Amino acid sequence: MTRIAIVTGAARGIGAATAKQLASDGCTVAVLDLDAEQCADTVAAIEASGGRALAVGANVADSEAVAEAVALVADELGAPTVLVNNAGILRDNLLFKMTDGDWDAVLNVHLRGAFLMSRAVQAFQVKEGWGRIVNLSSTSALGNRGQANYAAAKAGMQGFTKTLAIELGRYGVTVNAVAPGFIATDMLRATADRMGVGFDDFLAGAAKEIPVARVGQPEDVAAAVSFFCSEAAGFTSGQVLYVAGGPKA
């Protein structure tokens, strides 16, 4: 059976790698991001490898946009039973400099977005009697200077994950979280730019602090998501897997 998957924030980085991985696993993938046109490269890569994908534009923090997007996926591809909540943004600052807007924007995209997407997709999963939800957390959930908003959102994703696992398990739906560590993405490049550090130097410095002596790649995270979305993960639910090159508390 071909599963229909939705990956949010899939235009680039971890989301794009995950969309490609799930397509390789045999899923038909809805590649969702704020602007459908930005999803073109991910869709093209999937189709070039023989897969099927659909670009979908939606603001995951907008309930009407989410409802319309999920309905579009169901109409165009079929009932979505796999959901990866990856969409996220950064608005880093120290607490005394952080604005209301910085806080609200991050919590809205990460937490509200995951809530709205999960609520919409679970209706299809429950009807089908099978589903997989994977939420993207982060090692920042354990605390990270200058990221009070992001850390709170990513810690919230873990509580959200465990609660959905309890609520949806009886319907054949598993819910897990992947918590990446230092992954080489455009988001980190922006962080390096803000710090006035060259990206290569930024990565090299980080690698020295990681037990496996390298930084992560989006594909490392995609591999973990792939397992949680698989048939083999049917007895694994409510878990948080740190993909960080070493142990985390």
Query: The domain that contains 124 carries what CATH number?
Result: 3.40.50.720
Q: Phi/psi zone of residue 136: left (φ > 0), alpha (ψ -120 to 50 degrees), beta? A: beta
Residue 167, domain extent: 3-181+217-243
Residue 233 has pLDDT above 70, yes or no: yes
Residues 175 and 188 in one domain: no
What pLDDT sits at residue 1?
86
CB 8 within 8 A of CB 87: yes
Contact between 136 and 157 (Cβ < 8 Å):
yes
Q: What is the largest CA-CA distance in the chain?
A: 52
* Token pair of 84 as six digits: 């990866």
Number of neighbours of residue 17 by Cβ within 10 angstroms: 25
**Same structural domain, 89 and 115:** yes
Same domain, 130 and 204: no
pLDDT band for 249, please (50, 70, 90 cuts). low
SS3 237: coil
What is the per-residue pLDDT for 191? 80
Q: What is the pLDDT of residues 43-52, one digit of tens each?
A: 999 999 999 9
> Has residue 249 been placed in a domain?
no
Look up residue 23 and give its two tokens. 């397509």
User: Which has the closest alpha carbon to 204: 213, 196, 195, 212?
Assistant: 213
Structural domain contains residue 248: no
The token pair that represents 25 in the structure block: 């696993």
Q: Is 68 exposed, middle or buried (0-12, 13-18, 19+ CB in 10 A)?
A: middle
Q: Which of 116, 113, 111 is nearest to 157 (CA)?
A: 111
Same domain, 62 and 138: yes
Evaluate whether residue 122 is within a structural domain. yes
Residues 87 and 191 in one domain: no
**Which residues are catalytically annotated?**
150
pLDDT of residue 187: 80
Residues 194 and 238 in one domain: no
Q: Quote the CA–CA distance of 157 and 109 in Å, as a whole number.
A: 11
Instruction: Tell me the average pLDDT of the chain.
Output: 96
pLDDT band at 23 (very low <50, low <70, confident <90, very high): very high
Question: What does residue 88 show for φ and ψ, rounded to 5 degrees?
Answer: -165, 160
138 pLDDT higher than 70 = yes
Residue 242 above 90 pLDDT?
Answer: yes
- Per the structure, how many domains does the chain have? 2
Q: What is the pLDDT of residues 196-215, one digit of tens each?
A: 889 888 999 999 999 999 99
Q: Are residues 30 and 68 in the same domain?
A: yes
> Do strands 173-180 and 80-85 pair parallel, antiparallel, or not at all (unpaired)?
unpaired
Return the pLDDT at 192: 82
Examine the domain organization and report whether 138 and 209 are in the same domain.
Answer: no
Is the domain of 62 the same as that of 161?
A: yes
Looking at the fold, whether 97 and 189 belong to one and the same domain comes out as no
CB-based contacts of 62, cutoff 8 Å, min separation 6: 116
